[in-house]
Amino acid sequence: MSQLRITEIFHSLQGEAATAGLPTAFVRLTGCPLRCLYCDTAYAFSGGELMGLDDILQKVSSRKVRYVTVTGGEPLAQPDCLGLLKALCDTGYQVSLETSGAMDTIGVDERVSVVLDLKTPGSGESSRNLYGNVSQLKPIDQVKFVICNREDYEWARFKVEEYALRDKVAELLFSASHAELESSQLAQWILEDELDVRLQIQLHKYLWGDKPGV
């Protein structure tokens, strides 16, 4: 029976992406092969608890929610993540997957909204982006850029154009790296350049601060 290493399962309001503000169950898988300079979930790099699919589904269903987000760490670093995503979809949840852009998304259930985090130069991990994932993007998917400075912003703009991302996905998300760039500065750049992207503010950090399990 397949098992996954899980850092935490909790219910909260989605803080990011297309379903921001909506009650959501979060399944955070343990482990990540990247080391982004701004990472706010380093506590998920190791440890965790081995859980079977049935136990995960039971914990997710302990509160009434429509949305489930599978996150990490890097969830796709555990191959059995694909089975978890399918099982959640089969159960009737609307499922999103937060993935780093460094793992192949082939095999992810088509009902899942993939939130592909293309790593900017400021992350220190942009060389890990697998651009083959861009050709896998579907209309329900989302592409996210965490922007640390003006160089990252220009890089993200270029990638949006280079891969014609506006026509490929439901949401283009520009998010300021919490400690490095003011969201208001990013907002100003977006408006000045008339970009057709969504400024993303990590709602959960404004509501509850920068801590696990929220």
- Does residue 96 touch ligand SF4 according to CB under 6 A? no
Nearer to ligand SF4 by C-beta: 45 or 57? Answer: 45
Q: How would you write the chain as a 3-class SS string?
A: CCEEEEEEEEEEECCCCCCCCCEEEEEEECCCCCCCCCCCCHHHCCCCEEEEHHHHHHHHCCCCCCEEEEECCCHHHCCCHHHHHHHHHHHCCEEEEEECCCCCCCCCCCCCEEEEECCCHHHCCHHHCCHHHHHHCCCCCEEEEEECCHHHHHHHHHHHHHCCHHHCCCEEEEEECCCCCCHHHHHHHHHHCCCCCEEECCHHHHHHCCCCCC
Query: Between residue 60 and residue 79, which ones bind ligand SF4 under the rule CB under 6 A?
Result: 72-74
CB of 212 to ligand SF4, least distance (A): 12
- Does residue 130 touch ligand SF4 according to CB under 6 A? no
Interface residue with ligand SF4, options 4, 9, 25, 34 (CB under 6 A): 34
Q: Which stretch binds ligand SF4 (CB under 6 A): 3-11, 36-44, 60-68, 177-185?
A: 36-44
Q: Which stretch binds ligand SF4 (CB under 6 A): 11-19, 35-43, 87-95, 190-198?
A: 35-43
- Does residue 48 touch ligand SF4 according to CB under 6 A? no
CB of 91 to ligand SF4, least distance (A): 26
- Does residue 39 touch ligand SF4 according to CB under 6 A? yes
Residues that bind ligand SF4 (CB under 6 A): 32, 34-36, 39, 41, 72-74, 100
